[in-house]
Amino acid sequence: MKFKLTLLILLVYTSLSAQFGLWTAPGFYEDQRRNGTGLSISFGFRERLFKYAGIGMEFGIIDNQDIDPQDVFNYGYYHNPYDFDWVGKKYVGPQWGFDFLIFANPSPYISLYTGGGLYFQRYGEMYFNQWYGSYYPQGGNLTYQVEKAYSGGMHINLPVNRFIQVILGGGYHSVRGGQLILGFSV
């Protein structure tokens, strides 16, 4: 009984003292596959559990596809093999994923974070049909590539009034690249 009461008090205390934040982070990354650069975007939230620590989660998407998913027929090809050109390994659709974040708050206005996550993207060895202008995966199947990710950065919390703060910041993500952060917390 004493344990349940202590747990209830702890939950009430953390919910009353919690600071919740939401942000978006457009990013700019170097695309190794295409020898160029690209854009990414992420949306995240955090909750300050204690005075000097918090947890959060971020969801990101990267537009680094080689082929639009609408141009892929996800079954084997049954036509004349001379109508097809092999184009190699191609990525279908955007890369997407999530990160779990841990925050350290050295002051009420600064939050440092680090985290890790997983990012997913479909790919396959592709053939291009000259007559229909569409792509067919070898064997009729696309598979998922899973990439581990890590990130780190800083949020600066600028008070607007007693209850609302604007979040400005920056960070680096191993998949999404450098990012600018803009959001709010209450």
pLDDT in tens, 110-151: 999 999 999 999 988 888 887 777 888 877 788 899 999 999
Q: What is the pLDDT of residues 151-168, one digit of tens each?
A: 999 999 999 988 888 999
Burial of 10 (0-12, 13-18, 19+ CB in 10 A): exposed
* Confidence at residue 12, expressed as pLDDT on a 0 to 100 scale: 40
- Could you say which architecture CATH assigns to the domain 18-185? Beta Barrel (2.40)
| Domain coordinates in residue numbering, the chain | 18-185
Rg, C-alpha atoms of the chain? 22
How is residue 174 written in tokens? 């191993």
* Confidence at residue 30, expressed as pLDDT on a 0 to 100 scale: 73
70-101: b or e for each residue (b if 16 or more CB lie within 10 Å)?
eebeeeebeeeeeebeeeeebbbbbbebbbeb
Asked whether the predicted pLDDT for residue 77 surpasses 90, the reply is: no
CA dihedral (84, 90, 95, 100) positive or negative = positive
Q: Cα dist. 159→55, 156, 181 in Å?
A: 21, 10, 16
